Amino acid sequence: MPELPEVETTRRGIAPHIEGRVITEVIVRQPRLRVPVPGDLVERLVGARVGALSRRAKYLLLPLVGGEATGTLLWHLGMSGSLRIARLGELPRKHDHLDLVLDDGALLRFHDPRRFGFVDWLAGSVEQDPRLARLGPEPLSDAFDGARLHRLSRGRRVAVKPFLMDNAVVVGVGNIYASEALFLAGIDPRRAAGRISAERYARLAAAAKEVLAAAITQGGTTLRDFVGGTGEPGYFKQRLNVYGRHGQPCRRCGAELRLVTLGQRASVYCPHCQT
């Protein structure tokens, strides 16, 4: 599943090609996505100019002005989706469900084999949309730090890994990056969130920022078929310390990495380095 670094990589890859362009055509090949493609999307978007593409958690926000549209396209890549830049005349592949055709001949093309992603239209305030209104702070922002983790964890018996993955606590720290951050911080993912000190939470917040920033620099983590907006895969997989490596030796101490299930998600950790 594309996580925050993959979505941010996509944003950075496609933004220079679409910002300021006018949409001349909308081609919908498959409207039955996780959220059905709005029936009036074509009429709303043709003639609209694309504003500055932004990201909130794992959502991409595409503001549009002009034509019949003044609002925002809310895009989610789901479990297998990708957005890439193509050129007019480039034949669609299987599972290329939607194209935005731009006035310079470029296409913004949405590909999603599992159809768990979606594109939706927001006519009102983005901040008031229920999918965005209750989200926690961005992990690379100053609003996210160890003090926040320590404050919100008091009295919580849930394991620290699902606590860190709670989007109300902080957005975008998914399974891969939570596992890696906990390893860097030396914290056992099974430990109760409420039993971790402020000092250790400060290390965990710093580790989460470090892991996410490095993943963005490397273009994300390609585990199956993720590619960024330019069609390039991500390379952070080569730097993973624990995720997907159960039964292998720890890169730091050599101990065999163990696998547990927390919050219905597989979690790999080092029994020696993480306590």
265 counts as catalytic: yes
Choice among 11, 44, 55, 58 that is catalytic: 58
Tokens for 56, please give them: 């909130």
List the Cα angle 138/142/144 in 5-degree steps. 55
**Cβ partners under 8 Å of residue 224, min gap 6:** 80
29 counts as catalytic: no
Residue 84 assigned to a binding site: no
12 counts as catalytic: no
Residue 95 assigned to a binding site: yes
Continuous segment of H or E residues that includes residue 202: helix 198-217
Phi, psi (rounded to 5 degrees) for 154? -60, 130
DSSP β-bridge partners for residue 101 = 25, 107
Residue 114 assigned to a binding site: yes
90 counts as catalytic: no
For 83, 123, 126, 259, the CA distances from 120, given in Å and listed in that order, are: 15, 10, 12, 38
Residues with a catalytic annotation lie at: 2-3, 58, 265
Provide the annotated binding site for DNA.
95, 114, 156
